[in-house]
Amino acid sequence: MEFVSVVNCMDGRVQEPVINWMKKKYNAEYVDMITEPGPIKILSDNSDKCLVESIKSRLVVSVEKHGSKVIAVVGHHDCAGNPSDKQTQINQIKNSINLIKTWFNDVEIIGLWVNEKWQVEKVF
């Protein structure tokens, strides 16, 4: 697989662990990283239509132009943009996945959690 996509926090601490995990897991050469502060809250709440549409339009480029077949949605420990506990964020990841599923067919959508040791865990 050449490209995979990730909706991730802008926090620099989570970039490399997620990129490395996705490259290894999916044998991907490139990771299209779509970042916002606390994107799972943005997508789960689905109230800021401008930001939601911005994330969607960037995913469309990744899926339609780069041929990405996998989208990861990521939450993480100590998120400044979404200072919620792990269980709340896990629920937000699930809601975000459900929203993104309405946008794309034939794309695998997974949920990842980056823990306090900056290790990636698949949660969905």
What digits encode the pLDDT tens for the residues 12-37? Answer: 999 999 999 999 999 999 999 999 99
With cut-offs at 50, 70 and 90, classify the pLDDT of residue 108.
very high
Q: Mean pLDDT, to the nearest integer, of 73-80?
A: 98
For the domain spanning 3-122, the CATH number is: 3.40.1050.10
Sign of CA dihedral 85, 87, 88, 94: positive
Q: In angstroms, rounded to a whole number, what is the distance separating the alpha carbons of residues 100 and 113?
A: 17
With cut-offs at 50, 70 and 90, classify the pLDDT of residue 45.
very high
Q: Mean pLDDT, to the nearest integer, of 53-59?
A: 99
For every residue of the chain, DSSP letters joined together read --EEEEEEES-HHHHHHHHHHHHHHHT-SEEEEEEESSHHHHHHH---HHHHHHHHHHHHIIIIIT---EEEEEEETT-SSS---HHHHHHHHHHHHHHHHTT-SS-EEEEEEE-TTS-EEE--
pLDDT at 1: 84
pLDDT at 2: 97
Can you read off the two tokens belonging to residue 56? 């969607």
Share of the chain above pLDDT 70, in %: 100
**In the chain, where are the structural domains located?**
3-122
